[in-house]
Amino acid sequence: MFCYQCEETMNGTGCTMNGMCGKKGEVAVLQDRLIYALKGYAFCNSRGRQKGCNDPDFGPFVMEALFSTLTNVNFDGAYFETKIQETLDRRDVVRNAVHDGAPPGPQAPNVATITYDELMAKTADEIGVLSIGDIDTRSLRETLIYGLKGISAYGMHAHILGSESEDVYQFIEKALVSTIDASPLGNPDKDGMIALLMECGSIGVKIMSMLDAANTGAYGSPVPTQVSTGVGKNPGILISGHDLKDLEMLLEQTKRSGVDVYTHGEMLPAHGYPSFQKYDNFVGNYGNSWWHQKSEFEKFNGPILMTTNCLVPPKETYAGRLFTTNMVGYADDKAQLKHIPANAEGSKDFSEIIELAKKCPPPEELENGTVMTGFAHAAVLSVADKVVEAVKAGDIKKFVVMAGCDGRRKEREYYTEFAEALPHDTVILTAGCAKYRYNKLDLGDIGGIPRVLDAGQCNDCYSLVVIALELAKAFGVETVNDLPLVFNIAWYEQKATLVFLSLLSLGVQNIVIGPTLPACISPDVLDVLVKTFNVSKNTDVESDMKRLITL
């Protein structure tokens, strides 16, 4: 195998035996094969689109498949074997329709004709990352693929809530085809690939806007909310991941059951949505970001539902209490997690989880306090005049966007130390699980405005963009680059890659990223980003404080 799609990749270069995430080498190769199959499916579907015989379900199917290959989503080899076969079957239906049942001509690329057995015999060296010889072409193609994975993750959440876009589906198709060697549809040169990355970022903004509208349309606009971090006396269910529809169904099925529901990780922002605040048994947030789950899940005592990415291979002590849904899956020689499927109407039956919860003791208390969330764009902009007044009065000197991902590396203590070192006239704008590095610090407020404004999940980086754009209007400046606003963001996986590309597509300059730069970015591609956008890596707290805050 060779995988370098996440920040944790071995030695900062690439995992070659097993993934640092816990993904086995054979599963990594299956994911390579699935990506290869999806490229062939996209190629045939693009031809079918020209003739009016493309697959109408192309978009949702490909988004689900791409989502399953994100870091920490699915570790089950059988899932990928099935998904590869389904992809090839769909490809063949479209291809046969294009050619009226006749075999395609000799100009058809291998991805359009390869059989299941032939593909399953291919190695990572033949079809994976390292099969692309030129380092810059490899860098650009893989970064684009990772951006597509981010689009697919957010796109699936929106799709589940009934929101979708043909423009998004067609871009996914075009982008996949662009990564095929010697494609009859043409391979873009390096400038063309960089343009595609910027287009990917623009589509990222669109898909995050769609998801924001879908979430607020279904559950209301988030409001500032204090969330308990303690525990009650009732048995509980812990829900982790990102999918708000799953949370809604779980709360509906647990009301008046005597079972409390707690959020974990990226589910914390759900407490800010008005629709969820009506449930008496929606009691608080348990624990911290995703990588703490081995110790926190063990102490929770009750069942855990993992709805999206951020699954860590479980310990045997709680694997029997851990359930998956959507694209999430885990199986090895010791455990196969119970999966909760959706029926044809999209509903799910969580009764098995609820009955198990009733037999479990209440959670063991980890802490006892509160944490704030719910500062999405509607909430912040409702007091925009107060914010502008505070800036003009000199009470707020700088806004610092510290959004993104958390991770296990010790170097990430930097973000806590940076937040603690910020002057008292600065406000942190955050979204994503990076917030757990500082959202429980006692940083106070500025004239009633909390110094940490948590907009929500990683997709709610869109809220931060909306806030910045509206502040630019309020201050009468041309771009967000003219605001007293700096970006010091953390990344870990492919959704963060999409958010990064989205910011670049909006023309945001001077982004500082860490704790490392993506291994998939080659030196020449990095040089383009530095020259065009002045992108840089974080260094140490003292140096970064001088160049970002006190310059």
| Measured CA angle at 431 (ends 491, 326), to 5 deg | 80
Annotated binding site: 3, 6, 15, 21, 242, 266, 310, 405, 433, 458, 493, 495
37: closest CA among 67, 80, 75?
Answer: 80
- Listing DSSP states for 20-69 in one string gives TTS--HHHHHHHHHHHHHHHHHHHHHHHHHHHT---TTHHHHHHHHHHHT
- Return d(Cα 399, Cα 56) in angstroms, integer: 44
Report the 10 Å Cβ neighbour count for 119.
22
**How many H-runs (helices) and E-runs (strands) does the chain carry?**
19, 16
- Return d(Cα 434, Cα 225) in angstroms, integer: 19
- Paired tokens of 28: 């990594």
Helix, coil or strand: residue 281? coil
CA distances from 208 to 144, 155, 181 (A): 17, 8, 30
Annotated binding site for hybrid [4Fe-2O-2S] cluster: 242, 266, 310, 405, 433, 458, 493, 495
Checking 17-21 for CB contacts under 8 A at 24+ apart, the result is 19/71, 21/71, 21/72, 21/312
Contacts of 403 (CB under 8 A, 6+ apart): 429, 430, 431, 432, 434, 435, 455, 458, 461, 464, 489, 490, 499
Report the 10 Å Cβ neighbour count for 327.
23
- Return d(Cα 320, Cα 306) in angstroms, integer: 13
Sheet holding 452-454, edge to edge: 452-454, 426-430, 398-401, 485-490, 512-514, 536-537
| Total residues belonging to the chain | 551
- Listing DSSP states for 301-348 in one string gives -S-EEE-SS---PPPHHHHTTEEEETT-B-B-SS-B-EEE---TTS--
350: closest CA among 286, 271, 257, 269?
Answer: 257
Annotated binding site for [4Fe-4S] cluster: 3, 6, 15, 21
CA distances from 273 to 222, 374, 378 (A): 4, 7, 12
DSSP class of 541: H
Report the 10 Å Cβ neighbour count for 222.
27
The dihedral through the CA atoms of 335, 492, 363, 263 has a sign that is: negative
CA distances from 399 to 308, 377, 419, 479 (A): 31, 15, 12, 15
Say if CB 390 and CB 408 are below 8 A apart.
no
Cis peptide before 515 (omega within 30 of 0): yes
